[in-house]
Each structure stands twice: as structure tokens, then as C-alpha cells.
Amino acid sequence: MRNVLTIARKELRLYFVSPVAYAIATTVYLILGAIFFINVYFGLRGETIPPDGRIVINPLITILLFATPAITMRLLTDEQRMGTIELILTAPVRDWELVVGKWLGSFGFMFLLLAVTWVYPLIIHQMTEPGIDQGVLVSAYTGLIFMTSAMLAIGVFISTLFRSSVAAFFTTLAVFLGLWIVEGFGSGSGVGSEILRNLSFVSHYYDTLFLGMFDIGDLFYYLSLTALALFLGTQVIEARRWR
Amino acid sequence: MIEVKGLTKYYGRHMAIQDLTFDAQRGEILGFLGPNAAGKTTTLRILAGYMPPSQGTARIAGFDVLEQSLEVRKRIGYLPETVPLYPEMSVWEYLDYMGSLRRVEDLEERISEVLEEVQLEERAESYIGNLSKGLKQRVGLAQALLHEPEVLILDEPTIGLDPAQIIEVRHLIQKLGKDRTVLLSTHILSEAQQVCDRVLIINKGQLVAEDTPENLQAQISGADQLVVRASTETEALRDLISLIPEVTEVMPGEVEGEVFVMSVPGKDIRPEVARKIVEAGFDLLELRLAGLSLEDIFLQLTKENTHLKEGG
Ligand SMILES: Nc1ncnc2c1ncn2[C@@H]1O[C@H](COP(=O)(O)OP(=O)(O)OP(=O)(O)O)[C@@H](O)[C@H]1O
Ligand SMILES: [Mg+2]
């Protein structure tokens, strides 16, 4: 467990000197800021500002679809391409500790990134009367963080499969889009549709947490996805040794 | 300290090493000598716990590299051939990271010590990406020494270093080898000769010879070979030396006044050669045993394979 923290700490530190991470953070804040400004501006000219955090969270999720693959794309691809993984795997570090440590580092970074976006709902809260529903906001943000955790874990898993970060980025993005639209195929009735709906990233968030319905089952879905992806990542690293 | 039995490794269908058996004691520096693609890196990677063997067993400090990999990895320091490092970290940060993973006690103090040992104190804050190849090599070495491992596994530790550095690193290895086991690979014969207590020669994945460097050289050369240079013409020198009964062949050397002398084994003809030259009124400029190149040794080894194994 200490190794996990050591690895996570190192990855987190590297994000703060990485131009990619700064580019992502800048993009996130710029887009969010622009959207927020437009909303508030038009809101002030007559239309009412929706009294919740939705005007922030909606665009945020779209941005996350692209930002998380960019955050995870180099985590294990670089180690494999540069061969640095050889020194980690010959140190007394278990394979899972490496994978989980990488994920935790990226999670730490995204957590900080998301935490800063709280300012926007807070501003709305100040500007509106009687303010926004804090319960909905907390529920939506909690869900967002769990969803991010699952997305990062999938990104880490896919980064174990490649040596090229570009390949890892696009594969991760494709998987996310797949998880996004899978619900559309499950619109009918029957077991198959049911399963598809349950697989979907969207239904576990927008139908419940996003609306303030705090459901442990949904959190469990994202947690299971996180665990599964990290488990698969570990299997790939282990298989690499046996090649 | 290291016991290897019947070690075999396939990459797909390609057999990289075949049935290697050897051991090494504490305080011994064992050299792994072989040409490209001989299987040196493959063997060292298995011993370092990076990948499992296809067949056979290897034990380090009594622990099996496959079954007790973690215990083995705690006890080894490993310098991979490519010296993989993180370019975006500083030397200190990197050693701090590796040291934390290896649970080194009094880490800061230890990092300072190791940096001094590999003479990198002044570059502690430099980014690894900005270091020269030789300096990176030293960072790799520092990383391998950090936790004071019982067994050091060094894959071509002097490659890419300047001559002064090579000598320093060899001294360092010799010093370290006094109380721990060092396994190093190289394709430089003179390096193996200087540094190692014992040398394994491997070729195409197979062990072809195992002995002390001195014995190997003596067995392999078969005939004594000398390089002689004197203040005269090559032709004259050649005629003069040919008079010595033990001499079997005299060939012109690389420069004027230099010859290459082959003689029957077992008798040192150097005093006789020196006397002849001085008596003839020339100045003796150089007289030394000819070092064999690794290529020569391999040529001989493939011819005299069985004979050598008995000898070793
Ligand atoms: N990861 C790998 N996958 C497939 N084949 C490999 C792999 N690593 C090494 N080989 C093959 O195994 C054989 C032995 O390689 P190895 O790297 O052990 O040689 P070496 O003695 O270290 O050579 P060098 O002096 O060039 O470093 C070579 O034929 C090589 O092509
Ligand atoms: Mg090699």
C-alpha cells in the first residue's frame, strides 16, 4: 500500500510539471468559463439562470470525455516505451501496486481539477435568490467524481495495452463513446436491453445522481468499473512478464 | 548466493538461452562474457525477476526467482542495459522515488552517500533528461546501489562511459564486490579480465566456458603470443627472432619494427627474445603478451569446445 502512495505521489508531482496537464487544465477552465459567462450574461438579460449547477456540470462532462484520456494516455505507455517499467518491476513492487498507484495519481490530479470548478456553482449561489439546491449539487458532484474515477481506471487499463500514447488516447476515447451511446441500443424491452442500459455511463448518472437522487447502486456501478479496469490492467502487466 | 540450474528461455519459438547452469558465491565478481545476442541480457533479466524462465530454476540468496520473486527483488540491485530513467525528474527526485519504493532507511543520507560514490553530487538537482549518456549511466548505477543490495546485477555497466569513468566504475565494482556478489555482463574481454574473479563465456545461449580470466586466456591461446617492437626494420627483427628454437611463427606487426611472435606453449621465451635483440645491438622498445580479442577466443572456442569444458 505504501508503494501505491509513493507511485501516486510521483505521478501527481509529474502532472504539475507536465505541459499536457497544464494544457488540459487551461482548456477545461477556459471552456467552462466561457460557457458560464454566456449563460450568466444572457441570464442577466432577462432569462433566469437555472438555479442549480447544471450549467457547469453538463459541459464539464463533455470536456471530461476528452480530458481523462489525455490525462491517462501516457501513464503506462511511456513506462513501456522507455523501458522504465523494467526498473519498477524489478523493485519489490507488486504489479497491482504499480497500476493502482498510477490510477490514484491521475485521480488526485482530476480531483483537484474538479474541485476548482466548484467556484462556478458557488457564484451562481451568490447571484440567485434563494440560491441553489446544495443537496443536488453535492449529489451531482459526488457522482461526477465517481464517474471520473471509472474513466481514469479505464484509461489506465488501456494505457497498459499500448506503447504509443496517441493510440492509447484514441482507444480510450472510443471506449468512452461506446459506453456513452450504449444506452441508445437498449431502448427496447428484454434482458439484452436491460443489460445494455445497465452498462451505460449515462443512465447511472443523469437519471439519478445528477438530479439529486443519491443512489448507492450507481456509485457501486462506477466503483465496480474502476476495480474491474484496474484488475484488467494488472493482468496485462503480469502477462507482459510472461511473454 | 546465486544458483542457476538448467535455465532456458524461449521468446516464442526462439530459444534465447539454453540449459545454463552456474553459481556465484558471496564476495565474488562473476563476469558474463559473450557477443551480441548471446543471451546475456535475457539471463540477467530472469535473475533480476523481470521475467520468468521457460525452464530451469534460479535461486538468489536462497530464494527462488519465480516463486519468491519479491524476496529476490528486495535483495538485488539491477542496472538494465538501456538504463531506463525518467527524463522529467531530477536526479535527486528519482533516487528519492526508487529509494521509497525500496524502503531505504535514512533515505536522504543514503542518497548523498551514493551520489558521492558515483560522483554526481553536483548534478543532484539536474533533470535526468539533460544529463549526458555517461552521467545517466551513473544515475542508473546509483539507483542500483541505493539499498545496499546483497547481489548486484549489472548489464554492461561501462558502456558509453569515457575512459576515465570506465576505470572508476571498474574500481567501484571491485570495491563493491568484496562483500557482495556482483554479476556483470560485458563483451569486452579486457574488462572481464580486470574486474572479474570468474568468467562465464556464453554464445548463442549456451555456456561455452567457465574459469578464471587468467586460466581462460592461457587455455585459449594454446601457444604463447608476443608483440615485440625494436629499433630496427621489421625484416631484420623477424630474422633475429626466428633463430629462437621455440618460435613457431613470426608475422609483421602493425608498424615498422614490430612483429607478432608465436611460440610453443609452456615456456616463456621473453627473456630469450630480449637478450637476442640487445645482443644484436638494437633497442628493445616493447615486449608484451598479446591480448586476444573476443573474436579470436570465440573462433577457438567453437573449435575446442569439449577440451575447454574439461579444463574449466
Ligand atoms: N523481448 C524479446 N523478444 C524476442 N526476442 C528477444 C527479446 N529479447 C531478446 N531476444 C532475442 O534473444 C536473443 C538473446 O538476446 P539478449 O538480449 O539476451 O542478448 P545479449 O547477449 O544481451 O546481446 P547484446 O550484447 O547485444 O546485449 C537474441 O537473439 C534476441 O534477438
Ligand atoms: Mg544485452
Span B264-310, pLDDT tens digits: 777 788 888 899 899 989 999 988 877 665 556 666 665 554 444 44
Look at B7-16, B213-222, B238-247 and tell me which has the smallest mean pLDDT: B213-222
What percent of chain B lies above the pLDDT cut of 70? Answer: 90
Question: Rounded mean pLDDT of chain B?
Answer: 87
Nearest-atom number in ligand 1 for the CA of B81 is: 27
Return the pLDDT at A50.
60
Question: Rounded mean pLDDT of chain A?
Answer: 85
Q: Using CA positions, which residue lies closest to atom 11 of ligand 1?
A: B16
Q: Is residue A112 pLDDT above 80, yes or no?
A: yes
| B45 C-alpha to ligand 1 centroid (Å) | 11
Write b or e for each residue in A207-229: b if 16 or more Cβ atoms lie within 10 A of its Cβ, otherwise e. ebbbebebeeebbebbeebbeeb
Pick the closest to residue A1 from A96, A86, A108 (CA basis).
Answer: A96
Ligand 1 close to Cβ of residue B16 (< 6 A): yes
Cross-strand bridge partners of residue B261: B226, B250
Arithmetic mean of pLDDT, A79-88: 94
With CA atoms as reference, the chain A residue closest to B86 would be A84
Of A206-215, B109-118, B204-213, highest mean pLDDT = B109-118
Spell out the domain ranges in chain B.
Answer: 2-211, 222-289
Rounded-to-integer distance, Cα B203 and Cα B215, Å:
19
Inter-chain CB pairs, A–B, below 8 Å: 63
| CATH match for B2-211 among 3.40.50.300, 3.30.2320.80, 3.30.360.10, 3.30.70.100 | 3.40.50.300
pLDDT class for A48, splitting at 50, 70, 90? low
| B200 C-alpha to ligand 2 centroid (Å) | 15
Report the CATH fold assignment for B222-289.
Alpha-Beta Plaits (3.30.70)
Residues in chain B with CB shorter than 8 Å from the CB of A82 are: 84, 86
Ligand 1 close to Cβ of residue B187 (< 6 A): yes
Rounded-to-integer distance, Cα B135 and Cα B142, Å:
10
Q: Which pTM was predicted?
A: 0.83
Q: Is B89 on the interface with A (CB under 8 A)?
A: yes
| B290 C-alpha to ligand 2 centroid (Å) | 27
**Ligand closest to CA B11:** 1
Helical axes B91-101 vs A2-15, angle rounded to 10°: 160
ipTM of the complex: 0.88
Rounded-to-integer distance, Cα A9 and Cα A106, Å:
10
DSSP assignment letter at B293: P
Rounded-to-integer distance, Cα A160 and Cα A23, Å:
23
What is the domain count for chain A? 1
A3/B80 Cβ within 8 A: no
Domain that holds residue A6: 2-242
